[in-house]
Amino acid sequence: MELIINKLNKNQERASNVFFDDILMNEELNEYLRQWENEYMFSLGKIGLFKTEVAENLTYEQIKYFVRIFYHVRGHFYKFLWCLGNNAPDQKAKKLILDNFKEEFGENKPSHETLYQTFAHSIDPTINIAEEFIKEEFYLDFLRKYNIEHTRVLLANSWNYKISAFSAYERLDNTDYSTLLKMLRCFKLKNPVNSIFFDIHANAKHFDMLYCDLSKVWHDEKETVKGAFMFIASHQLSMWKLLSDSVLSQ
């Protein structure tokens, strides 16, 4: 009997140690995320287009150009998801990607593509996103390279890296779209801008859905998480810089 009680106590002790280890691990991950995001926001704030005084003085031509080229920043995200889904190790992981696709299609609401079209129309009724999807007239070289590099890096790395990169990408959606919303509010336009597309991305909870998987990778392979997060942040910042330069040079 005493032997059984001792064994039970030992198991309980082990379980609570694992529990506290997990809490400490998550604290460490959260601290890493805080620092990573702060550094990202600091660099983002230095980019021309995101400065209030610059955004307030954009010409109508520059704004329309931004709408056309920004479509290609997010309009190719389905390839990112495709790479993940085709390499997902199990049904649970595949469901995660499918849920993301489902959300892109908007469930019983308009798809994100439709919302972008609505946004584009509110700025210039002649912009046709469906046509741009086919013709890719404004798919500039640096944007093509940006999207290709995402898929190249995803395909070249392990699932743990892929899920970390996916988490980093989703985490930055909230940051990026909040910054973009601020920029849109600076535009001096005759008609109001329909910003639903931006609102839903600024408030999306995709990162939270990935947190559990990310914390498992952090537990086993901290360096993999750091590598993927660094790649996504620097890749995103170089794209924003080129996009800003391109709009401001119009």
Site residues for Fe ion per CB under 5 A = 112
Nearer to Fe ion, 176 or 218 (CB): 176
In the complex, which residue's CB is closest to Fe ion?
112
Nearer to Fe ion, 26 or 175 (CB): 175
Nearer to Fe ion, 53 or 107 (CB): 107
Tell me the closest approach of the beta carbon of residue 71 to Fe ion, in angstroms. Answer: 12
Tell me the closest approach of the beta carbon of residue 73 to Fe ion, in angstroms. Answer: 11
Nearer to Fe ion, 112 or 162 (CB): 112
Alpha carbons 117 and 41: distance in angstroms, whole number: 28
CB atoms within 10 A of CB 226: 14
Tell me the closest approach of the beta carbon of residue 111 to Fe ion, in angstroms. Answer: 9
Tell me the closest approach of the beta carbon of residue 103 to Fe ion, in angstroms. Answer: 7
End-to-end CA distance of the chain: 82
Alpha carbons 170 and 210: distance in angstroms, whole number: 9
CA 179, 184, 185, 187 torsion-angle sign: positive
Beta carbons of 40 and 233 less than 8 angstroms apart:
yes
Beta carbons of 239 and 142 less than 8 angstroms apart:
yes
